[in-house]
Amino acid sequence: MHISEGVLSAPVLAAGWAVTAGGLAIGLRKTPVEELPKTALVSGVLFLISLVHVPLGPSSIHLTLLGLAGVLLGWSAIPALFTALFLQGLLLQFGGLLSLGVNTAVMGSAALAGCAVFKALPRRVYLPAAFAAGFIAVITGAVLVTAALFFSSGNLALTATLIFAANLPLAAVEGAITVLMVLFLGRALPDYVFGQTGI
């Protein structure tokens, strides 16, 4: 879900930075000091997990764990994602600093969508809720990437459609991984999953 430099139009880049600035302001305000270690841990995992790419058509796909990030962090996922994406762009030229706003907005919105789904469902069905969180997060991110590409250039419409289609199987995989992680963390560290963090 990383969009490289030089692909997006100036209006889309500006919109991405505006959304990211607002999300960071809310996320930082809603991140209590005692949650910083967990936020940093999730940020580190997000940094590492998205470095493993599988080439697919005109793009590549990779695990995102955005649904899990949303479940664990709520609004704090946005600062965590911003930090991970900033370091990837700065150190590895993965994504980029100009597209950082759009990439953070896309992934942050996806994480919040996953969080909203998880929190909306009763705790007794937390495993199906975890699957839904992982699945919806990837679909949300894919829709937003598709929209960013489409509004940047009509010539990217086919590429955007292919990228969206490539993320559909990934959504199911992410849902299953989110279930496994929530199952483990729900038993080992229940406060991480069922704490007060939310949207």
pLDDT digits (tens, 9 = 90+) for 147-184: 998 898 867 777 778 878 888 888 999 999 999 999 99
E-only strand ranges, the chain: 54-56, 59-61
93 pLDDT band, cuts 50/70/90, is confident
Q: Tell which wins on pLDDT, 76 or 62.
A: 76
Residue 55 pLDDT: 65
Whether residue 145 lies inside any domain: the answer is yes
How many angstroms separate the CA atoms of 39 and 79, rounded?
8
Report how far apart the first and last C-alpha atoms of the chain are (Å, whole number): 22
Whether residue 1 lies inside any domain: the answer is no
Which residues have a Cβ under 8 Å from the Cβ of 41 and sit 6 or more positions away? none
**Residue 58 DSSP class:** T
Tokens standing for residue 107: 């992934």
Provide the CATH number for the domain around residue 73.
1.10.1760.20
How many angstroms separate the CA atoms of 189 and 160, rounded?
39
Whether residue 58 lies inside any domain: the answer is yes
Report how many domains make up the chain. 1
Query: pTM for the full model?
Result: 0.90
Whether residue 17 lies inside any domain: the answer is yes
Whether residue 88 lies inside any domain: the answer is yes
Q: What percent of the chain has pLDDT over 70?
A: 93
Residue 60 pLDDT: 65
Least confident span in 2-6, 42-46, 95-99, 187-191: 2-6
Residue 62 pLDDT: 79
Domain limits at 181? 10-191
Instruction: Answer for the pair 80, 43: CB distance below 8 angstroms, yes or no.
Output: yes
Residue 56 pLDDT: 60
CA quadruple 176, 180, 183, 189: dihedral sign: negative
Whether residue 3 lies inside any domain: the answer is no
Encode pLDDT of 33-51 as tens digits.
Answer: 999 999 999 999 999 988 7
